[in-house]
C-alpha cells in the first residue's frame, strides 16, 4: 500500500457528499496532490484545511493511481492572521487558484513551494509603515510561477542593445526587457516595465501605477503564453479570484 509523509500548503477544500472533503494541497516533495478526507466535521479538521495553511500531510492509497486519503495536521494558519484584511485574503485566494490552474498533479515543483511559502510569510506580517509593499511581492511571486511552469521573463538587460540600464519595456513576444533606445517606433506595442521589477525610474510614477504595470505583464503572459497553449483558444480567462484581485487593486 503506497504511503508518504510531507509538508504542504492547502490550496482548497471542497465538500463531497455528506461527510467528505476533497483537498487540494501543494506539497514540498510530491507536488500538487488531490486527496480525500472522510468525517471532516470536526473543528480541528475544518480549521486545518483553510487555504494557505501550512500542514503536515500523510497520504495513503490502496494503489498509486487512486486519489487516496489524507491525514492533515496543522502547522501554522495564514488565514487566521489576515482574516480582517480583505485585500490580503483576496491575494491568498488568487494565489491558490493560480496554483490549482497551472500546476499539473503529482509533479514536483520545489521552487514554487518555497517561493509560495516565503510569500505567505510576508503576507502574514503586519507592516504599519507601508501595508501595501507586500503587493510587489505578490507580483514577483506570479513572475516566479511563470518561470517555473515554462515561461521565464528576462528583465535584466535590453534584448536589442544589451544595456542593463534605462530599461522601460517588456517585449510581449519574448518576455525580455527593452530599453528606451532599443524600443524605437515599437514602444507603443510594448508592455511597460515598473521600477520594482528593474525598470527605469519615471518621475511622477506612483507605487500603485507600478503595481498595475506589473500585473499587466503577468496577466498578458498567463493568458497569451500559458493558457493559450493549454486551451488552444483565443478567448481565455484567468481564474475568477485573480480577476477580482486585479479589480480590487485598480480601485485603490
For 74-94, the DSSP string reads EEE-SGGGSTT-HHHHHHHHH
* Same domain flag for 73 and 89: no
**Which structural domain range is residue 129 located in?**
80-250
* Same domain flag for 59 and 102: no
In the block, residue with C-alpha cell 524605437: 184
Domain end (from 52, 77, 102): 77
* Same domain flag for 230 and 146: yes
* Same domain flag for 113 and 155: yes
* Same domain flag for 170 and 216: yes
- Alpha carbons within 13 angstroms on the beta-carbon side of residue 78 total 29
Domain end (from 44, 77, 110): 77
* Same domain flag for 191 and 236: yes
* Same domain flag for 126 and 190: yes
- Mean pLDDT calculated for residue range 21-46: 88
Cβ 219 vs Cβ 212: under 8 Å: no
* Same domain flag for 102 and 225: yes
* Same domain flag for 71 and 133: no
* Same domain flag for 69 and 125: no
pLDDT in tens, 177-222: 999 999 999 999 999 999 999 999 888 789 899 999 999 999 999 9
Query: Which run of H or of E encompasses 177?
Result: strand 177-179
Average pLDDT, the chain: 91
Domain end (from 17, 44, 77): 77
* Same domain flag for 66 and 97: no
Report the DSSP pairing between strands 54-60 and 3-16.
Answer: antiparallel
Q: What are phi and psi of 64, to 5 degrees?
A: -60, -30
User: Is residue 231's pLDDT more than 70?
Assistant: no
CATH number at residue 132: 1.20.1440.120
Q: Which of 51-60, 178-187, 219-228, 238-247 has the lowest mean pLDDT?
A: 219-228
The Cα–Cα gap between 92 and 69 comes to: 25
* Same domain flag for 53 and 177: no
- Mean pLDDT calculated for residue range 125-137: 77
pLDDT in tens, 76-92: 999 888 988 999 999 99
Tally of domains in the chain? 2
Amino acid at each position: 500500500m503506497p504511503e508518504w509523509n510531507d509538508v504542504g500548503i492547502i490550496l482548497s477544500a471542497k465538500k463531497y457528499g455528506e461527510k467528505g472533503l476533497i483537498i487540494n494541497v501543494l506539497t514540498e516533495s510530491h507536488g500538487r496532490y488531490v486527496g480525500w478526507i472522510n468525517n471532516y466535521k470536526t473543528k480541528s479538521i475544518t480549521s486545518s484545511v483553510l487555504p494557505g495553511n501550512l500542514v503536515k500531510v500523510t497520504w495513503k492509497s490502496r494503489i498509486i493511481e487512486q486519489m487516496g486519503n489524507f491525514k492533515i495536521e496543522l502547522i501554522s494558519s495564514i488565514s487566521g492572521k489576515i482574516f480582517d484584511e480583505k485585500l490580503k485574503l483576496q491575494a491568498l485566494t488568487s494565489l491558490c487558484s493560480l496554483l490549482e490552474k497551472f500546476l499539473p498533479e503529482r509533479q514536483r515543483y520545489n521552487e514554487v513551494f518555497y517561493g509560495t511559502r516565503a510569500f505567505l510569510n510576508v503576507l502574514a506580517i503586519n507592516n504599519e509603515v507601508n501595508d501595501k509593499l507586500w503587493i510587489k511581492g505578490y507580483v514577483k511571486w506570479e513572475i516566479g510561477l511563470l518561470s517555473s511552469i515554462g515561461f521565464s521573463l528576462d528583465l535584466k538587460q535590453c534584448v536589442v542593445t544589451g544595456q542593463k540600464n534605462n530599461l522601460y519595456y517588456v517585449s510581449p513576444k519574448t518576455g525580455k526587457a527593452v530599453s528606451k533606445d532599443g524600443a524605437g517606433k515599437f514602444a507603443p506595442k510594448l508592455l511597460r516595465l515598473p521600477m520594482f521589477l528593474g525598470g527605469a525610474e519615471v518621475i511622477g510614477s506612483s507605487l500603485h501605477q507600478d503595481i498595475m504595470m506589473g500585473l499587466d505583464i503577468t496577466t498578458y503572459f498567463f493568458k497569451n503564453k500559458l493558457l493559450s497553449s493549454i486551451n488552444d483558444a483565443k478567448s481565455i480567462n484567468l481564474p475568477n479570484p485573480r480577476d477580482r484581485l486585479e479589480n480590487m487593486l485598480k480601485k485603490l
